[in-house]
Amino acid sequence: MTYQSMTDVAHNVLTKKKKGLEFNKLWSEVSDTLGFDTTVQQRKIAQFYTELMLDTRFASLADNKWDLRSRHLYNEIHVEVEEIDDEDFDDEFADGEDEEDTKRDFSDDDY
């Protein structure tokens, strides 16, 4: 029996499906294939998500779906930095306070 990583199993699942899957469905298929019980599923789900994010074979799509990166154009899976809404950051410091002003200086006497 050969060992397969969670991402290798996910790759095989997505290859067979020919389309992207929602994360929970993908995780269910991966964990079932690897024979994880409920306890192991709960313990490994975060690790699986992290490994998907770091593995360049996969692409995170809208609506929490995952697919193989090779099936999508660059523009479909990359977001331009200008499109990121920094409104929340602006609101946080809207009172004129600088981020540097909110930091506390610690001296040796504080410890």
- Reported as a pLDDT band with limits 50, 70 and 90, residue 47 is very high
Closest CA to 69 of 10, 6, 3: 10
Q: Does 23 reside within a domain?
A: yes
Three-state secondary structure call for residue 59: strand
Contact between residue 61 and residue 21 where contact means Cβ atoms under 8 Å apart = no
pLDDT tens-digit series, residues 63-78? 889 999 998 877 777 6
Q: Does 109 reside within a domain?
A: no
Q: What is the mean pLDDT of the chain?
A: 82
Q: Does 15 reside within a domain?
A: yes
Look up the CATH number of the domain holding residue 34.
1.10.10.1250
Distance CA 54, CA 15 (A): 18
Q: Does 106 reside within a domain?
A: no
Q: Does 93 reside within a domain?
A: no
* Percent of residues, the chain, with pLDDT higher than 90: 51
Other C-beta atoms closer than 10 Å to the C-beta of 59 total: 18
Q: Does 30 reside within a domain?
A: yes
pLDDT tens-digit series, residues 3-30? 899 999 999 999 999 889 999 999 999 9
Q: Enter the pTM of the model.
A: 0.67
Domain of 12 in residue numbering reads as 6-83
- Total domain count for the chain? 1
Q: Does 99 reside within a domain?
A: no
